[in-house]
Amino acid sequence: MFTHIRTSKKNKELVTQLTRQHNLGAENVIARIAIAHSIEQGARLDLVDLKDSGGKEYSKAVLLGDKEDIYIGMVCSFYGIHRSNQDLGKYVKLHLDMGLVSINDSSMNLTEWI
């Protein structure tokens, strides 16, 4: 299982921008929303689309917090994989990056996610 996740280099600034724009406090809040939002959109992401990892780094504990089982469960259920799957962290990263871009491109009201 993964221990750290990094956003793409492009999304490093986006994390800070969206956190400030929506007054979310800690930057892991937007990351959690991004993962859930991306999965909610229903697009199965392909590992070949994995972006660089030169951006914001989160430890698994900071990224998922005490809701780790829920986030891991969402990803595993969505892809039909077990939590021991070696690609689990890659899927989390894909949804983190995709969710950040999707939130930024939309005029989403994030108060419903908090």
Domain spans of the chain, in order of start: 4-113
pLDDT, position 79: 97
Mean pLDDT of the chain: 93
The CB density around residue 28, as the number of other CB atoms within 10 Å, is: 19
Confidence of residue 44 (pLDDT cuts 50, 70, 90): very high
CA distance 36 to 114: 12
111 or 1, higher pLDDT:
1
Confidence of residue 113 (pLDDT cuts 50, 70, 90): low
Task: Give pLDDT tens digits for 64-82.
Answer: 999 999 999 999 999 999 9
pLDDT, position 51: 82
Instruction: Tell me if the domain spanning 4-113 has CATH number 1.10.760.
Output: no
Task: Give pLDDT tens digits for 19-34.
Answer: 999 888 999 999 999 9
Helix, strand, coil tally for the chain in percent (to 5): 65, 5, 30
User: How much is the CA Rg of the chain, to the nearest whole Å?
Assistant: 13
Residues 6+ apart with CB under 8 A from 26: 19
CA distance 12 to 27: 10
**What percentage of the chain exceeds 70 in pLDDT?**
94
For the question of whether the overall pTM of this predicted structure is more than 0.75, the answer is yes
Q: Is the confidence at residue 106, as pLDDT, over 70?
A: yes
